[in-house]
């Protein structure tokens, strides 16, 4: 059974625009998965250490038959193939970050995966690109994307030209 999944993409190292383009191509090659659409690219201020470059972010919509943990493994392989090195420091610079934001109507909270993504409600670099793809979206916990957007200003965000 196909489920609609939204994946957040981010990069601020090693040609971030190219990192996102390559990641989108890799998402389109995943087995049992179709890349349905992706948002515009956005430049955003970094979370965490301020002495790092701005990020480039986007959101992709996938239809997949993969189970959540299979998709997570596939996303982590793509990150590694594009030079991601996981460090203890959270929110530091990275070549590529792929996060499962929503997986159908599922609520998941285990040691490897939290869906809906635990901080998506407070991140304009997630919410505004997501709204391009699914403005009427209702989250599994009943909140609407419109409500989340109303509480999350378009601060530190810049939509990049095509």
* CA–CA distances in Å: residue 150 to residues 28, 121, 122, 136: 32, 10, 11, 13
Please name which of 159, 162, 156, 158 lies closest in space to residue 46, comparing C-alpha atoms: 156
Structural contact between residues 18 and 108, judged by C-beta atoms closer than 8 angstroms: no
Among 99, 109, 110, 159, the one annotated catalytic: 99
Kindly name the residue from 73, 90, 94, 106 that is annotated as catalytic: 94
The span from the CA of 31 to the CA of 102, in Å, is 19
The catalytically annotated residue of 84, 86, 109, 143 is 84
Q: Catalytic site residue 4?
A: no
Cα–chain center distance at 39: 10
For residue 45, indicate whether it is catalytic. no
Nearest to 29 by CA among 4, 55, 66: 66
Active site residue 110: no
Percentages (nearest 5) of helix, strand, coil residues in the chain = 30, 25, 45
21 carries an active-site annotation = no
Question: Active-site residue among 4, 97, 143, 159?
Answer: 97
State the catalytic residues: 84, 94, 97, 99
């Amino acid at each position: 059974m196909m489920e609609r999944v939204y994946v957040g993409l981010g990069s601020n190292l090693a040609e971030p625009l190219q990192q996102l383009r390559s990641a989108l191509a890799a998402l389109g090659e995943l087995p049992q998965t179709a890349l349905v659409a992706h948002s515009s690219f956005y430049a955003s201020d970094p979370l965490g250490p301020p002495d790092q470059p701005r990020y480039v972010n986007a959101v992709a919509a996938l239809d997949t038959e993969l189970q959540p943990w299979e998709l997570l493994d596939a996303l982590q392989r793509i990150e590694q193939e594009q030079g991601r090195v996981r460090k203890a420091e959270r929110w530091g610079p990275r070549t590529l970050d792929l996060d499962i934001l929503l997986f159908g109507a599922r609520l998941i909270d285990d040691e490897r995966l939290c869906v809906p993504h635990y901080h998506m409600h407070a991140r304009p670099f997630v919410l505004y690109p997501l709204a391009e793809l699914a403005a009427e979206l209702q989250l599994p916990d009943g909140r609407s994307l419109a409500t989340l957007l109303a509480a999350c200003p378009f601060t530190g965000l810049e939509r990049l030209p095509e």
